[in-house]
Homo-oligomer: A and B are copies of this chain.
């Protein structure tokens, strides 16, 4: 497309040259119809109009260029900011299963040691998540917020305020200001 535009520009340059030739013709034969100063003035006016047009064209492309730069910078920033979203979304089910497996009560020394090792791994994973800007969404005890929480059950419990979250069924996560997965919760009526 750039080439196309350039060709168009070159045509316009040629246009200018033709005008110069025309001028010569006018000087040679055109005097029967118009006086030379009138022809000169016409030509000057035409050139001035063209110049102004060309200057406006230049200003427009400059403005487009600046807009494009701004947009490209924003696109790149957004791509950077949420770069880990897909990876994290894919890892969350693995993390859920991992944490569920860690909930067992060890009945022997080997299991106990294995669970301790795995707990360390869990903390390492959560640390890596945190460094990328991932946070767990607070739920139990908080007021229900449809932007952060997904209500899957309702209960009546006088120990909690109305609309408070009573239990978390699945953890929710945010990546910076974006909710990747709302927490699944039980809400008080």
Contact = CB atoms under 8 A, between A and B. Distances in A.
A2 interface: yes
6 contacts: A9-B58, A79-B83, A83-B84, A84-B86, A87-B88, A91-B125
B97 A106 contact: no
Count of chain copies? 2
A124 interface: yes
Given A58-B9, A68-B69, A75-B76, A2 B63 contact: yes
A189 interface: no
Interface of A: 1-2, 5-6, 9, 12-13, 16, 20, 23, 36-37, 40-41, 43-44, 47-48, 50-52, 54-55, 57-59, 61-66, 68-69, 72, 75-76, 79-80, 83-84, 86-88, 90-91, 93-94, 97-98, 101, 104, 106-108, 110-111, 114-115, 117-118, 120-121, 124-125, 127-128, 131-132
A68 B66 contact: no
